Structure 1
Amino acid sequence: MTGGRQERRPPGFDRAVQAVALLGGALLVALATMVTISVTLRSDLVGKAGVPGDFELVQMATAVAAFCFLPYCQLRRGNIFVDTFTMKLPLRVQHGIDAVWDVVYGLVMLLIAWRLAVGARAAFASGENTMVLQWPSYWPIGLCAALAALVAAAAFVSAARLLRGSA
């Protein structure tokens, strides 16, 4: 209880999405630490080789982290809105228009998730690995596919909330 009223806990879906975003943040902190170590090792001061496969790790982790943030951004209504022509419409109409675009966004993210899943399956079938570390490349692709599906779910949830008037 705060200020005489009980705070409402966010629904479980929102908490799960927030946890995924926090994992993405932790991944970026770990990535920044690894890049700092790699650059320091390559400096004239130390003069050694950097972290093996650092560029591969940057590529994979950045993609995964970006997909980790998208569902949270969607639920917080943090995406870019161009509402120049709709600002003077009634709020209910604005929410209806936004809900339609959330559904379109969700459908596009499902398409992206599907194609990423196809790509992950192809990478698995061909035994494709990263060049330096020789890690299977289907892991980050498949993870991005799952996260893209989560973005789609977040878009559908936010559309439903707009239509219910609880956005």
Structure 2
Amino acid sequence: MSAVLARLAGWFAGLGGLCAAAVALMVVASIAGRALWSTPIPGDVELTQFGIALCLSLCLPWAQVHRANIIVDFFTQRASAPTLRALDRVGALLLALMVGLLAWRTAVGALAVREAHEATMILDLPMWWTYALLAPGLVLTALVALVQAITGAGPQKAVP
């Protein structure tokens, strides 16, 4: 696996963690505001949905670098090591294709939503931002999976 991709995935995961922490703090503040003063943060649901989607998108590459995705091995429990490696490579290629398709359609969707001037219901934020910010994490996930499919690289050690 390219050390550059692994390091970039680490940075993305760090940003995803910060995003999740920010969403958690905002939810706590909104609940406290609702309970204490009957004034939640306006648009808290919109911001939570966007923030968690962004967090997931940013953390996907790190999960793929470490092959931390769920694997159902019911049918392959007795397969040989070479067979398992081959299946892992095929799985990585299929993931690269699927996530690459998602990244492409997310980017195209961002452009379409931008042209339509769609905005969130409560905060009136441009919706295309959401789509555009999801694409980089998906692209990096596709690249990591593609490298794994080509090289057969296994999980990486944590990159400082």
Asked whether the two chains share a fold, i.e. TM above 0.5, the reply is yes
Q: Work out the number of aligned pairs and report it.
A: 154
Residues 1:153 and 2:143 are matched in the alignment:
yes
- Asked whether the 8 Å contact 2:97–2:142 carries over to 1, the reply is yes
Cα deviation, residue 166, structure 1 = 5.2
TM-score (ref. length: structure 2):
0.89
Distance 1:125 1:27 in 2: 27
Q: What residue is the counterpart of 2:127 in the other structure?
A: 137
Q: What residue is the counterpart of 1:4 in the other structure?
A: none
TM-score (ref. length: structure 1):
0.85
Distance 1:77 1:55 in 2: 31
Instruction: Write out aligned runs for 1:3-152 (5 A).
Output: 11-43=3-35, 46-152=36-142
In structure 1, runs of 5+ residues without a counterpart are 1-9
Distance 1:83 1:161 in 2: 22
Sort the Cα spacing of 1:66 and 1:49 in 2 relative to 1 into closer, same or farther, 3 A.
Answer: same
Cα deviation, residue 145, structure 1 = 2.0
**Counterpart AA for 2:146:** F
**Counterpart AA for 2:92:** D
Cα deviation, residue 134, structure 1 = 1.3
Distance 2:117 2:145 in 1: 34
Cα deviation, residue 30, structure 1 = 0.7
Cα deviation, residue 41, structure 1 = 0.5
Give the RMSD, CA atoms, in angstroms. 1.6
Q: Percent identity?
A: 34
Distance 1:119 1:95 in 2: 35
Which structure has more relative contact order (CA 8 Å, sep 6+)? It is: 2
Between stretches 83-92 and 60-69, larger displacement belongs to 83-92
In structure 2, runs of 5+ residues without a counterpart are 156-160
Q: Which has the larger radius of gyration?
A: 1
